[in-house]
């Protein structure tokens, strides 16, 4: 640590003060202006000053503003303001939590008997002993010296209080989760859905005694593997009966390797606290260049490798014995990780890797893919929906591999498209727009893999899954993308379904004809009504105006669907989903729709307004939408929506100051008319909306019929006659 670092106070910004006191930033600014005794800045800049955390806490306590601050928040502020940095402070806090978890009596005795100087002086030796016992020699939790802990006495004691209040594992989960959330660009995380699915695919044949993640990051895959192993162990005990132990009783051993030394240390502590019954061995090093476990033969390997790396060691590793299936090209770093995973498996062990879709089809990797197929190592390629994991716009793949034994299975490959059932038209939303339905993804993928692994083949389901002979894939491209090998579903359900679509289209066309509006003549010129604006109506209380986009899903509870701007423009049902609430705070309430609300998109420059009906009521209002909730005693909603759609009205209320046209809803105008006249206009606008909906349905049915006939004629299910 640099000289003098231990003498610097822990600092906190104005935003941190606001969070400590549970107020907004403006309140902190007011305190600084109004209270002469408010602590002076000790660092930062003129526009973003930093204050001594101890002075701020004392001032807030004297003012009676600190009593209700959660202990978690106080510990977090001490951690982020630590002079050695948040990662180093979190490493220290995690080690103390592990001590409090593994040796609670020793920790309490040490804390009660020692003052701050003695506590930070004795702690290094005690922490080293606990870490060595839990993480083994060579663990990555370094730097817990007397000098490093000297400025951390307050953090150490507060961390102990948090362990007593929340439990050591929950306390560390909160602090680590907060740190990862605060640095989203620094870390690439594997979301819980894909992590649990990968662990389940690797453990289908039984609980894994040894699991390796050679690119472990924050440890999500190893934590999922441990949880899966515990579930199978519990199931084995129930099947065996009380008092009978089976192979599943053996504790799982978790091996991880991570190039980022700080992250490796934090992950080791996370796993040690979250899996007290497991052996944890995490090491900090570049896996491909400096393998920390060269002699390991794991039961399962789970990897979310870094994608599209160029500097992965191509020049140094040309003669590495791991390249049993071929030396990867410089552009094929993912195939280097695939072969590393196979090299660290025992015979018959399973590896599951999260892969970019390009790895299944790039020509530079075709020879390695071909050899993986010929030798029966690559067993399945499963396409996931877009949004499964970063990068969220790309539909990633899962590769399931088996280390070939002395008698490898007949070369077969299972291809599964789990994206279609989760996010396709059957789910009511275009693929990639919403968060994946992980229950559907899991069911589709796991059932297909279980059947294929047990039987050596699988019954084909068009568009979803298929078993292929490896020989059929060994062409010039060796393209393994599931979508290229899955036959499409039968044309719209076959001729019978096409007949139903045609009948429905005929009925809808007849209804469209009946709904076609007539101009019915008009006045000699434009009306000269007295006008008002939406802004004036909102100020007078005739309507309530709300902006969309806020709100998070409650943890473990049912969340409403979200009406998006795409849904409003396309006349569709709500198709969005709320983001998950952060682990550090409560869920934020969204704006919920009621029947009779008028919803207006503010981007795109189009004249669109939608009246909410009973089928959409209860949905959450999405971003880039504005809600107008009229008082029914003053405004008819259909009258309001109809006049808001006028072309001239939208033109005068639109802003062209940027490349995207944005609608200022408050400037939209409508005439001042009695409620009876509003309802006459409203009924006419309602009829136009019904006609517009019939036109949309006609277009969709026509597209389905045309595409279904094309598919039927080309696959033979429909004849030219």
Rounded alpha-carbon distances, angstroms, from residue 561 to 121, 389, 426, 591, 592:
55, 21, 16, 11, 10
* Residue 43 burial (C-beta neighbours within 10 Å; 0-12, 13-18, 19+): middle
DSSP 58-117: HHHHHTT-STT--HHHHHHHHHHT-TT-HHHHHHHHHHHHHHHHH-HHHHHHHHHH--HH
**Phi-psi category of residue 246: left, alpha or beta, with phi > 0 → left and psi -120 to 50 → alpha:** beta
H helices, E strands: number in the chain: 23, 22
Q: How many residues does the chain have?
A: 721
Distance separating alpha carbons of residues 580 and 586, to the nearest angstrom: 10
- Residue 11 carries which DSSP code? E
Q: Is 44 helix (H, G, I), strand (E, B) or coil?
A: strand
**Preceding peptide of 391 cis, ω within 30°:** yes
**Phi-psi category of residue 349: left, alpha or beta, with phi > 0 → left and psi -120 to 50 → alpha:** beta
Opening angle at CA 547, ends 546 and 553, nearest 5: 105
Opening angle at CA 309, ends 307 and 310, nearest 5: 155
Say what the pLDDT of residue 426 is. Answer: 36
- Tokens 């060269």 correspond to 294
Contacts of 280 (CB under 8 A, 6+ apart): 134, 135, 136, 253, 254, 256, 268, 271, 272
Which tokens go with 708? Answer: 């279904």
* Residue 311 burial (C-beta neighbours within 10 Å; 0-12, 13-18, 19+): exposed
- Residue 56 carries which DSSP code? H
Contacts of 562 (CB under 8 A, 6+ apart): 574, 575, 576, 577, 578, 590, 619, 620, 621, 622
* Residue 212 burial (C-beta neighbours within 10 Å; 0-12, 13-18, 19+): buried
Cα 113 from chain centroid (whole Å): 45
Which tokens go with 518? Answer: 């007539």
- Tokens 């047990």 correspond to 454
Say what the pLDDT of residue 493 is. Answer: 59
Distance separating alpha carbons of residues 411 and 654, to the nearest angstrom: 62
Distance separating alpha carbons of residues 586 and 22, to the nearest angstrom: 13
Say what the pLDDT of residue 424 is. Answer: 44
Which tokens go with 29? Answer: 């600014």
Backbone angles phi, psi at 667, to 5 degrees: -90, -10
Per-run averaged pLDDT (10 residues), the chain, 721 residues = 47 80 80 90 84 84 72 83 88 94 89 81 91 93 88 88 90 91 85 93 72 95 90 64 50 92 95 90 96 95 94 94 96 97 95 95 95 94 89 89 81 89 43 62 93 90 90 92 82 72 88 80 71 90 88 71 88 83 65 93 77 91 92 93 84 58 82 93 91 89 86 80 74
Which tokens go with 401? Answer: 């591999």
Backbone angles phi, psi at 462, to 5 degrees: -55, 130
Q: What is the 3-state secondary structure (H, E, C) of 610-650?
A: EECCCCCCCCEECCCEEEEEECCCCCCHHHHHHHHCCHHHH
Say what the pLDDT of residue 716 is. Answer: 76
Contacts of 665 (CB under 8 A, 6+ apart): 534, 545, 600, 602, 626, 628, 653
Which tokens go with 601? Answer: 């998109």
């Amino acid at each position: 640590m640099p000289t003098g670092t231990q003498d610097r106070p822990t600092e906190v910004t104005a935003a941190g003060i606001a969070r400590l006191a549970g107020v907004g930033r403006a309140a902190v600014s007011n305190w600084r202006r109004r209270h002469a005794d408010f602590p002076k800045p000790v660092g930062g800049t003129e526009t973003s000053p930093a204050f001594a955390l101890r002075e701020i806490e004392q001032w807030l306590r004297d003012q009676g503003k600190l009593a209700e601050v959660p202990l978690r928040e106080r510990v977090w502020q001490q951690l982020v303001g630590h002079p050695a940095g948040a990662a180093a402070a979190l490493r220290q806090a995690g080690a103390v939590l592990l001590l409090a978890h593994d040796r609670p009596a020793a920790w309490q005795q040490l804390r009660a008997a020692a003052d701050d100087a003695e506590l930070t002086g004795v702690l290094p030796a005690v922490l080293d002993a606990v870490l060595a016992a839990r993480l083994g020699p060579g663990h990555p939790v370094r730097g817990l010296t007397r000098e490093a802990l000297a400025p951390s006495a307050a953090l150490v004691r507060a961390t102990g209080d948090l362990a007593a209040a929340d439990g050591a594992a929950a306390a560390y989960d909160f602090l680590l989760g907060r740190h990862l959330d605060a640095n989203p660009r620094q870390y690439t995380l594997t979301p819980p859905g894909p992590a649990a699915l990968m662990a389940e695919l690797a453990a289908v044949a039984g609980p894994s005694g040894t699991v390796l993640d050679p690119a472990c990051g924050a440890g999500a895959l190893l934590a999922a593997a441990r949880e899966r192993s515990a579930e199978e162990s519990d199931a084995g005990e129930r099947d065996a009966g009380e008092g009978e132990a089976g192979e599943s009783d053996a504790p799982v051993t978790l091996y991880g390797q991570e190039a980022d030394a700080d992250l490796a240390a934090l992950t080791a502590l996370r796993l040690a606290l979250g899996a007290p019954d497991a052996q944890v061995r995490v090491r900090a090093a570049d896996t491909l260049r400096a393998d920390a476990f060269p002699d390991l033969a794991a039961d399962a390997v789970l990897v979310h490798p870094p994608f599209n790396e160029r500097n992965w060691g191509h020049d140094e590793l040309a003669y590495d014995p791991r390249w049993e299936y071929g030396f990867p090209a410089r552009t094929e770093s993912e195939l280097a990780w695939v072969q590393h995973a196979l090299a660290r498996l025992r015979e018959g062990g399973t590896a599951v890797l999260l892969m970019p879709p390009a790895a299944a089809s790039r020509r530079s990797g075709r020879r390695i893919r071909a050899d993986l197929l010929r030798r029966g190592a690559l067993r399945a390629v499963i396409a996931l929906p877009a949004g499964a994991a970063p990068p969220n716009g790309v539909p990633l793949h899962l590769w399931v591999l088996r280390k070939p034994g002395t008698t490898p299975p007949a070369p077969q490959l299972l291809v599964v498209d789990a994206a279609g059932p989760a996010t396709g038209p059957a789910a009511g939303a275009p693929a990639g727009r919403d968060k994946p339905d992980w229950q559907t993804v899991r069911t589709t993928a796991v059932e297909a893999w279980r059947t294929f692994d047990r039987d050596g083949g699988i019954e084909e389901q068009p568009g979803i899954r298929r078993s292929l002979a490896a020989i059929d894939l060994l062409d010039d491209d060796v393209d393994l993308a599931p979508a290229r090998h899955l036959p499409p579903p039968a044309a719209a359900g076959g001729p019978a379904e096409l007949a139903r679509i045609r009948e429905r289209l005929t009925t809808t066309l007849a209804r469209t004809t009946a709904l076609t509006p007539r101009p019915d003549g008009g006045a000699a010129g434009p009306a000269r009504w007295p006008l008002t604006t939406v802004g004036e109506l909102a100020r007078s209380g005739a309507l309530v105006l709300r902006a969309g986009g806020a709100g998070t899903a409650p943890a473990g509870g049912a969340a409403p669907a979200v009406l998006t701007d795409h849904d409003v423009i396309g006349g569709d049902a709500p198709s969005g989903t709320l983001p998950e609430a952060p682990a550090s705070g409560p869920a934020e309430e969204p704006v919920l729709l009621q029947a009779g609300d008028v919803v207006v998109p503010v981007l795109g420059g189009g004249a669109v307004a939608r009246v909410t009906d009973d089928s959409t009521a209860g949905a959450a209002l999405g971003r880039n939408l504005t809600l107008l909730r009229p008082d029914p005693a003053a405004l008819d909603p259909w009258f309001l929506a109809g006049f808001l759609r006028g072309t001239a009205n939208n033109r005068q209320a639109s802003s062209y100051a940027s490349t995207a046209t944005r609608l200022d809803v408050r400037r939209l105008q409508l005439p001042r008319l009695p409620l009876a006249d509003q309802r006459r206009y409203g009924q006419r606008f309602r009829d136009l909306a019904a006609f517009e909906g019939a036109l949309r349905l006609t277009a969709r049915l026509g597209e389905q019929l045309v595409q279904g006939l094309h598919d039927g004629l080309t696959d033979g299910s429909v004849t030219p006659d």
